[in-house]
Amino acid sequence: MTDPKQDEFFMRRAIDLARQAWGQTHPNPLVGALIVEDGQVVSEGFHAKDGGPHAERSALTNLGRSPKPGATLYVTLEPCSTQGRTGACCDAIQVSGVKRVVVGATDPNPVHSGKGFDRLRAARVEVVTGVLERECTDLNLIFNHWIARSTCLFAAKMAVTLDGKIACRTGESKWITGEAARADVHHWRRYFPGIAVGTMTVMKDNPRLTARLADGEEWCPHRFVFDGLLRSVADHNFPEVYTDKYRERTIVVTTSHAGLGYVRKLRDLGVQVWVINSPTQRVDFRDFRLRCVQEKITGVYFEGGAQLVSEIMRARELDYLFSYRAPVLLADDKAKAGFSGLRPERLDQAVKLADVRHEVFGDDTLMRGRVVYPEKLLLDETVFSLR
């Protein structure tokens, strides 16, 4: 007789294994697996990088022998049933002799979803599904979006006060949230292939846009700077992201309205420039998304400023939101709001979050979830009329 609590215990370990490759597997998913014999873990594995062995094959290989009768394989994602670069994991499981497989999440690809379960059951393998399914699905926000929608996940981060402000009327904003919440931001920076900010953020704050992790490692994703007129290149006081050792990872996203001389100046510095055709000085987010897909960039984490994040929401192009809230109250109408540009007249016209998760970091809280737009998004046409 199976023990659901025991299955959850071992699945939590499989989740921990999957996280060891945090941010390193794109466009593939994070997956962890382990083999249990007589109530003890005897082998572990995880998918380490794109093109490498899948977690199930890694766990079976690391065992170094055939599993004992009665062994159970735990894996966070449905085993693949088709022949890829490393072979179908269902085949490897069948050959190994394992007769019980416990799975967390189902393959999000509708073409393959559930077929791995069917193949294993047809081979007389007991399959238990849905163990910590929500947690296992949450491992792969980017992969799930990429597979289900064939496009890049656009997520945004905002750190706000209790009344939704991101800065005092003077512009002071460091720091609204505490160290634990800011460390979590770096954790998510490491997960996303790209980080994006607007030109005012770069010019005012001069951010590095790298992930600084607890172990001292600094990692640089693709760093996008949205600058429709290339104002950030107008003088010689270049932002750090244009001159540091990671500058080749910086991509300035601009429009055809920017000066070609500024484009050449950036490229001479070693910075990439994407010129997006647009009738206005603003970058069209749909075209930017298409370019990301072409470049196989599966996820972008928008960190601000408030105008950039509000514009992408106004365009209905924001897919996911991370909202950190600090126990701070400004109560000032002239303090800078985190979001603007919409004009809902009823609550059912508001933007909402679905699949919501809550986390606590010291005195701060994080609410994150998938962005759901109303059927008709009412806009405040007086906002963003100039930039």
For 334-371, the pLDDT digits (tens) are 988 988 888 898 998 999 999 999 999 999 999 999 99
Average pLDDT value for residue range 152-177: 91
> Tokens standing for 289?
């998304």
The answer to whether 302 touches 154, Cβ cutoff 8 Å, is yes
Superfamily of structural domain 151-372:
Dihydrofolate Reductase, subunit A (3.40.430.10)
Average pLDDT value for residue range 230-237: 86
* Residue 46 pLDDT class (50, 70, 90 cuts): very high
Matching residue, tokens 């499981």 = 93
Of 367, 319, 374, 370, which Cα lies nearest the Cα of 343? 374
pLDDT value of position 171? 81
Q: How many CB atoms lie within 10 A of CB 14?
A: 31
The answer to whether 299 touches 152, Cβ cutoff 8 Å, is yes
Cα distances from 345 to residues 268, 318, 379, in angstroms, run 49, 21, 10
Q: How many helices (H) and strands (E) does the chain have?
A: 11, 18
The answer to whether 194 touches 26, Cβ cutoff 8 Å, is no
Model confidence, pTM: 0.92
Q: Is the peptide bond before 27 cis (omega within 30 degrees of 0)?
A: yes
Of 73, 76, 79, which Cα lies nearest the Cα of 41? 73
Superfamily of structural domain 4-140:
Cytidine Deaminase, domain 2 (3.40.140.10)
Structural domain spans, the chain: 4-140, 151-372
Known catalytic residues are 56
- pLDDT (tens digit, 9 = 90+) per residue, 283-312? 999 999 999 999 999 999 999 789 999 999
3-state DSSP call for residue 157?
strand
pLDDT value of position 386? 35
